Amino acid sequence: EAQVTQNPRYLITVTGKKLTVTCSQNMNHEYMSWYRQDPGLGLRQIYYSMNVEVTDKGDVPEGYKVSRKEKRNFPLILESPSPNQTSLYFCASSFSEGHGYTFGSGTRLTVV
Amino acid sequence: DQQVKQNSPSLSVQEGRISILNCDYTNSMFDYFLWYKKYPAEGPTFLISISSIKDKNEDGRFTVFLNKSAKHLSLHIVPSQPGDSAVYFCAASVTDKLIFGTGTRLQVFP
């Protein structure tokens, strides 16, 4: 089944403790992206990647890192999480620009 | 600066009637526009897209209209069904970035 898999689904952590949210897709898509969803703000792009080793900042990249060493994986790294990064995070992948992104099921992160 | 705006946070429509969801944008460089549907506890699901060189795209019950001069797009759902109840996001893409609106919650009642 074609899908985007992100883990974990739920995570509660403390301020400053480094964490990684994994994302993997099995569709051989070139485009991958991370979004956060917050009430009243919709979905905001954090980082995106057009291919292996090619990444760029989205609208809200501060406090996040990404890497794209393999085509299928696009982990999101929070080096020193803070409470304002408490949010619902989505990973997505796409064949190309203009084609619909396929989204993962989301990761609900709480930073206390 | 919100480049993609959905000014109606919610919409309520009777089953069988038409649902019209609206979206406005500010950036004339957007080259694709997309609509997504989201149920609680799930990721957004792609519904339909339209290239900036077209003014209409249809897929079953879903039709997207693009008015470039007004920088406005709309999603029509005909006929509306209870299973269409969800949050709908419009999105626009430019140079590999996909920018979303804040969403409209559609409720279809019997």
- Residues B61, A112: Cα–Cα separation, whole Å: 44
Question: What pLDDT was estimated at residue A97?
Answer: 63
DSSP string, A57-105: E-S--TT-EE--SSSSB--EEESS--GGG-EEEEEEEESSTTSPPEE--
Mutation choice for B interface testing from A46, A103, A105, A107 by most B CBs within 10 A: A103
* Mean pLDDT of the region A78-93: 96
Closest residue of chain B to A90, computed from CA coordinates = B43
Closest residue of chain B to A91, computed from CA coordinates = B43
**Which of B44, B101, B103 is the closest to A103 by Cβ?**
B44
- Residues A101, B49: Cα–Cα separation, whole Å: 11
Residues in chain A with CB shorter than 8 Å from the CB of B98 are 33, 45, 48, 101
How many angstroms away from the CA of A6 is the closest CA of chain B? 11
Evaluate if residue B101 carries a pLDDT over 70. yes
Reported as a pLDDT band with limits 50, 70 and 90, residue A81 is very high
pLDDT digits (tens, 9 = 90+) for B12-47: 999 999 999 999 999 999 999 999 999 988 999 999
* Mean pLDDT of the region A58-62: 94
How many angstroms away from the CA of A100 is the closest CA of chain B? 5
A58 touches chain B (CB under 8 A): yes
